[in-house]
Structure 1
Amino acid sequence: MIELKSTLTCPECGHKVTNTMPTDACQYFFDCPGCGALLKPLPGDCCVYCSYGTVPCPPVQEDAGCCNTKET
């Protein structure tokens, strides 16, 4: 069963927020409501949930890899 709730922790200020992850796309950016930092995935991760969340994104949970994201 896929877990859709994940708690993101900002690496800048430690603020935590629980969100429902999208199932049809990766979330590449996230604005921290605590300090305003723009979070982006760490190298090798496809989305902010895989980098800063308590639960990885749904495609990773399904062992399907993640969305095909590339930096331009």
Structure 2
Amino acid sequence: MNVVLESKITCPHCGHSKIEKMPTEACQFFYTCEKCDKTLKPKQGDCCVFCSYGTVPCPPIQKNSGCC
């Protein structure tokens, strides 16, 4: 199974989107939008900001290895 390492993350506050490289062995809990400077945190039940606001879930979820 090929793991996708990039995800387009979209800020729910201002709508700004950017393609970002995801960490491969850890979850990213915080992400600061470069346009509005808001800090994003995972939604309840999600393990990271990519699972909440990205087009592709984080690598550990893609590998079915569970949350970090």
Shorter chain as denominator, the TM-score bin is: over 0.9
Worse-superposed segment, 42-51 or 16-25? 16-25
Structure 2: how far apart are the matches of 1:65 and 1:20?
19
Q: Aligned pair count?
A: 67
Which residue in 2 is equivalent to 1:48?
A: 49
Shift of 1:36: 0.5
| Matched position secondary structure for 1:17 | strand
4+ runs of 1 displaced by more than 2 Å? none
Percent sequence identity is 58
Which residue in 1 is equivalent to 2:32?
A: 31
Q: Provide the alpha-carbon RMSD of the alignment.
A: 0.5
| Matched-pair contact (CA < 8 Å) for 2:25–2:60 | no
Q: Which runs of 5+ in 1 are unaligned?
A: 68-72
Q: Which runs of 5+ in 2 are unaligned?
A: none
TM-score by length of 2: 0.96
